[in-house]
Amino acid sequence: MGVDRRGHSPDHVRLRELLLSEPARPRRIAEHRAEVWLTVATVCVGAFMGQLDASIVNLAFPTLQHSFGASLGAVQWVGLAYLVVVIATISAVGRASDMIGRKLLYTYGFVVFAAGSALCAVAPGLIWLDIFRAVQALGAVMLQANSIAIIASAIPRERLGRAIGAQGTAQALGLALGPVVGGVLIGVGGWRLIFVVNVPIGVVGAVASWLLVPRSRNLGQRVAFDWAGLAMFMPALAALLLGLSFGNQQGWTSPQVLGLLAVFAVLGIGFVARQISTTHPMIDLGLFRVRRFAVGTAAGLLSYLVLFGVLFVTPFELERARGMSPARAGIVLTILPVGMAIVAPLAGRLMDRVGARTPTTVGMLIVAGSMELLALGGGSFPLTLTALALVGAGLGLFTPPNNASIMSNAPARRSGVASGIVNLTRGLGTALGLSLTALVLDLTAGTSVSAAATSAGFRNGCQFLAAVALAATVLSALRRPRPVASAA
């Protein structure tokens, strides 16, 4: 048997080419009149799975705290360990996908995510669960960094809002079904089952991606990766989240917390300086010179902070203060993403017609008012349902136009980088939503699990999130309107 110049056998070379190259779609699929929407549908599978997992895990926090006898700060890291990996690596994976292929990394993302989910299901303890969540996060990064970039490459720009609206609907459906499925699974067999559900979805997604997603186009030149930037960014982020998670428990003036915040400040400043000075930065800060891109990114971060903040704090109110079971609390939470799912496709169409400024501004204004309504609703169950539905509708009106605006203002050859930044803001917003809302809850309720203390923490958390939503409203209003020429 012959070998190549590197000593590899022909079988080895063929296997490597099979695993590391993007196959063409079957001709019947490539020539089908709906081929671009088959691509969008495949991306929607990944969007659905990612948000299903996120909402299930959020619902499980009270159960995990009870099962492991751990503090709220410790249990938070089941979510935050995942988010640290996502946030720290997503821009790098987005850049890599622009160079080696978006379809390839997207397909393997399903495989890694499913494997990580299976490991989480058999985790013997809380620390192991955190580690396996990090593995799961690597798969999520490969999916998220490429999802919007794949859509942007496959869909004409005049229909981009509609396509991203479809992805937003899939995300909302994942969020909607997560609490219901999670509540039932926790009630039937405990928290381990909430990870098992991802495995079959991951297998279906990998097969669909291999067959339905077209080969990557407009790939960029391969350049060196900014390892020095990553070496500063990841510990800076971890230090910030650790400080926020354990500040109330350890004391905000304790040497440990002050040290963590100092590490974040020093490494954060060093990271920004590195990104400005290096030829091939981990995060392309040059994209933020485009006003629509910068405003959309900042407003998007705040919107995700609100979304995951309310998904985090509401189960405590429903389960502890109102005495609901996890299954019933999950059903109540479903009203928020159902509102998103109904409005998101309409918002995408609206963006294609009038641009992003009006729907994003109105959407976040609805969210701000609804969060205040949720805070002032007291024990009124109908008012709580109405407020949650309006939060979902507002976010559904905001998210697709905002994401479409960001992507349409990024160069095609940097769509993977731009998609990575969009998803970095989602991860960072999610992490801050969990950390800051938990901080408000912890500062108000402390170690008490009484109904009165929990409700007080819930009200303060909602008012905090209302203020964040109002800030996102102002940012969206500052967005430049779409030029008349491009609106036709």
Does the pLDDT value for residue 488 go beyond 50? no
Among 295, 68, 280, 110, residue whose Cα is nearest residue 212: 110
Q: How far apart are CA 447 and CA 415, in angstroms?
A: 46
The CA distances from residue 182 to 52, 187, 214, in Å, are 9, 8, 34
Q: How far apart are CA 369 and CA 417, in angstroms?
A: 34
| pLDDT tens sequence across 110-121 | 999 999 999 998
What pLDDT, on the 0 to 100 scale, is given for residue 365? 96
Q: Are 99 and 45 in contact (CB under 8 A)?
A: no
| pLDDT tens sequence across 310-369 | 988 888 888 777 778 777 877 888 888 888 888 888 887 788 788 888 899 999 999 999
Q: Where are the alpha helices (DSSP H) in 69-197?
A: 72-100, 102-121, 126-154, 160-189, 193-196
Query: Does 18 reside within a domain?
Result: no
Tell me the pLDDT band of 470, cut-offs 50, 70 and 90. very high
What pLDDT, on the 0 to 100 scale, is given for residue 486? 37
First-to-last alpha carbon distance for the chain, in angstroms, is 62
Q: Stretch 376-392: mean pLDDT, rounded?
A: 84
Query: Does 335 reside within a domain?
Result: yes
* 14 or 60, higher pLDDT: 60
Q: Are 61 and 182 in contact (CB under 8 A)?
A: no
Query: Does 185 reside within a domain?
Result: yes
* 246 or 231, higher pLDDT: 231
Local structure of residue 319 (DSSP, 8 states): I
- Indicate the residue type of 472: A
* 373 or 1, higher pLDDT: 373
| pLDDT tens sequence across 128-174 | 998 999 899 899 888 877 777 777 777 776 677 777 777 777 877 77
What pLDDT, on the 0 to 100 scale, is given for residue 7? 54
Query: Does 428 reside within a domain?
Result: yes
Does the pLDDT value for residue 465 go beyond 90? yes
Q: How far apart are CA 416 and CA 254, in angstroms?
A: 41
What pLDDT, on the 0 to 100 scale, is given for residue 388? 92
Query: Does 14 reside within a domain?
Result: no
Query: Does 256 reside within a domain?
Result: no
Q: How far apart are CA 139 and CA 106, in angstroms?
A: 9
Burial of 31 (0-12, 13-18, 19+ CB in 10 A): exposed
* 9 or 339, higher pLDDT: 339
CATH number at residue 33: 1.20.1250.20
Tokens at 92, concatenated: 């790098």
Among 310, 312, 244, residue whose Cα is nearest residue 464: 310
Burial of 6 (0-12, 13-18, 19+ CB in 10 A): exposed
Total domains in the chain come to 1
Among 194, 205, 225, 10, residue whose Cα is nearest residue 98: 225
Q: Which residue range(s) make up the domain with 44?
A: 26-216+282-487
Q: Stretch 57-68: mean pLDDT, rounded?
A: 76
Query: Does 472 reside within a domain?
Result: yes
* pLDDT, averaged across the chain: 79
- Indicate the residue type of 298: A
Q: How far apart are CA 174 and CA 147, in angstroms?
A: 15
Query: Does 243 reside within a domain?
Result: no
What pLDDT, on the 0 to 100 scale, is given for residue 487? 33
| pLDDT tens sequence across 399-458 | 888 888 887 777 666 666 676 677 778 777 877 887 788 888 877 766 555 677 777 788
Q: Stretch 201-207: mean pLDDT, rounded?
A: 88
Q: Which of 5-14, 281-290, 431-440 has the lowest mean pLDDT?
A: 5-14
Q: How far apart are CA 145 and CA 28, in angstroms?
A: 28
Three-class DSSP category at 469: helix
Q: Which of 21-25, 82-86, 117-121, 481-485 has the lowest mean pLDDT?
A: 481-485
CB atoms within 10 A of CB 213: 26
